[in-house]
Amino acid sequence: MEGAPDEELMLAYKAGNAGAFETLYARHRARLYRFVLRAVKARAVAEELFQEIWMRVIEARARYAPQARFTTWLYTIAHNHLVDHWRKRGLSLVALDGEELPATGDPDPADEAQAREALARFAAALDALPALQREAFLLHEESGLSVAEIAAATGSNEEAAKSRLRYAMAKLKAAINDG
Amino acid sequence: MADERDPQISQRYRELGTQEPPPALDRAILAAARRATSRHRWYSSLAAAAVLIFAVAIVVQFERQPPDQVPMSTPSTPVAAPPSEQQAAPQEREAPTRSPAKPAQRRRAAPDVQFAPEPPARTERAPSAPAPAPTPDANVAAPAAGAAADAERKRADEMQAAPQLQRSRVMPRAAHLEEEPPERWLERIIELRRAGRHEEADKQLAAFRQHHPSYKVPEAALRREK
């Protein structure tokens, strides 16, 4: 089952093959973890959310139907958990999505000190992205989702997904060139 | 356009590091996944066993029930009882091989038989059971004597072929004869004599005397002619 597509592995797991899940988990664990970590920017919270997302995958296996790529399904679950997380913290995704709002990330003092280093600038720029723009960028860059898949995973339309991604990339590009 | 990656951005993003979940977290998630599948198998086995036990219980329960169902319909409609029993008897023999859904259908079907007997039962009953529609003129019964005799013969043959049916038929039939007017009963016995079925006529006459000991029997008409 090592070379089997994700969807086939998930169906095998649904049928009771625990080994199929292990293969699937090995494929996606690192990227999903980084996606969550960079979305919430706190390791402890990221680990908790990461575990909840996989638990949700396990619980939802009986209802799984390969209507889209497994990756899209997985990141839809991840997105929903992030939304819940932000809501619990009183953050509004809609407000954070607004272009006119200032960046919400508070750069670490250490990052400020190394501001001249390009990588630090890039990291700060990523942290400073509005949540939905950062999510769109991470889904695209880390998880390899297309604009249509980002729209599907985040429950938005393609125009909105494309717009968020374009804004995010423009800001990150500016951070790189701003040296 | 937005689907295309910017190599410079991708490069910088990779430089941020390749953090991974801690091994303890991996182990916890994989263990949960394995537990879920083993629970799935356990539930499946339990569900299959429960369905099997339920099916067996229904069959066993149904095996014990049929004798209780029939008498409920006999007091109100004594004539309809024999056909319903005739139908029930073969079903009873088939019951163990049937699906659990059948007994429920049969239980619901019992009242239906009482109010609307099935056509085959009605055709069989008509010649052999004249009691429900007695003719005012006794002479009208004469042409029907041959048919009645045929039906009686058929009934006797069936009883020999299926002894297990005999018990279920004899009881309602005795009840039926008790309610038959004595005159009509005697007429039938005379008809049996005429048809040459003396053995059966003798039995009927003995039964008649037992049920109506004070009734004056026309001995001349009932005597066997040799």
Of the two residues B119 and A72, the one the predictor is more confident about is A72
Express each pLDDT in B61-106 by its tens digit. Answer: 877 775 555 444 444 444 444 444 343 333 333 333 333 334 334 4
pTM (predicted TM-score) = 0.50
CB atoms within 10 A of CB B203: 13
Q: Rounded to whole angstroms, how far apart are CA atoms A67 and B192?
A: 80
pLDDT for the residue B107: 41
B12: left (phi over 0), alpha (psi -120 to 50) or beta: alpha
B4 neighbourhood in chain A, CB within 8 Å: none
Q: Rounded to whole angstroms, how far apart are CA atoms A69 and A153?
A: 10
Cβ separation B3–A50 shorter than 8 A: no
pLDDT band with cut points at 50, 70 and 90 for residue B19: confident
Express each pLDDT in B187-218 by its tens digit. Answer: 888 888 888 888 998 999 899 888 888 888 88
Size of interface A-B (CB pairs under 8 A): 88
Q: Rounded to whole angstroms, how far apart are CA atoms B161 and B169?
A: 13
Is the pLDDT assigned to residue A13 strictly greater than 80? yes
Cβ separation B19–A22 shorter than 8 A: no
A35 touches chain B (CB under 8 A): no
Which of B1, B6, B12 would best serve as a mutation to test chain A binding (most A beta carbons within 10 A)? B12
Is the pLDDT assigned to residue A138 strictly greater than 90? yes
Q: Rounded to whole angstroms, how far apart are CA atoms A60 and B176?
A: 67
Q: Which of A44-53, A59-68, B132-141 has the highest mean pLDDT?
A: A44-53
- Domains belonging to chain A, first-starting first, are 1-91 (1.10.1740.10), 92-179 (1.10.10.10)
B25 touches chain A (CB under 8 A): yes
pLDDT band with cut points at 50, 70 and 90 for residue A102: very low
Cβ separation A146–B40 shorter than 8 A: no
Report the percentage of chain A scoring pLDDT > 70. 83
Is the pLDDT assigned to residue B36 strictly greater than 70? yes
For all residues of chain A together, what is the average pLDDT?
83
A167 touches chain B (CB under 8 A): no
C-alpha atoms less than 13 angstroms from C-alpha of A57 in its C-beta half-sphere: 35
Express each pLDDT in B44-63 by its tens digit. Answer: 667 778 888 888 888 888 77
Q: How far is CA B104 from CA B47, B49, B78, in A?
A: 22, 21, 24
- Say which of B15, B21, B38 has its CB closest to residue A50: B21
pLDDT for the residue A157: 93
Shortest Cα distance, chain B CAs vs residue A166, angstroms: 6
B13 touches chain A (CB under 8 A): yes
- Say which of A50, A142, A166 has its CB closest to residue B25: A50
For residue B65, what are the contacts with CB-CB under 8 A and spacing of at least 6?
B103, B107
pLDDT for the residue B143: 40
Q: How many residues does chain A have?
A: 179
pLDDT for the residue B110: 37
Closest listed residue to residue B36, CA positions, set A53, A73, A60: A60
- Say which of A18, A141, A173 has its CB closest to residue B37: A18
pLDDT for the residue A34: 92
Cβ separation B13–A58 shorter than 8 A: no
Q: Rounded to whole angstroms, how far apart are CA atoms A168 and A38?
A: 14
Of the two residues A17 and B168, the one the predictor is more confident about is A17
Express each pLDDT in B121-159 by its tens digit. Answer: 343 343 333 333 333 343 434 344 455 555 555 554 544
Q: Which of A67-81, A87-101, B173-187, B210-224 has the lowest mean pLDDT?
A: A87-101
pLDDT for the residue B69: 54
DSSP symbol at B6: P
Whether B127 and B148 have beta carbons less than 8 Å apart is answered as: yes
B15 neighbourhood in chain A, CB within 8 Å: 119, 122
- Report, in angstroms and rounded to the nearest whole number, the Rg of chain A calculated over CA atoms: 17
DSSP secondary structure letters along B98-119: S-THHHHHHHHHHHHHHHS--H
Report the chain A residue with the minimal C-alpha distance to residue B19.
A34
Whether A168 and A134 have beta carbons less than 8 Å apart is answered as: yes
Q: Rounded to whole angstroms, how far apart are CA atoms A130 and B98?
A: 67
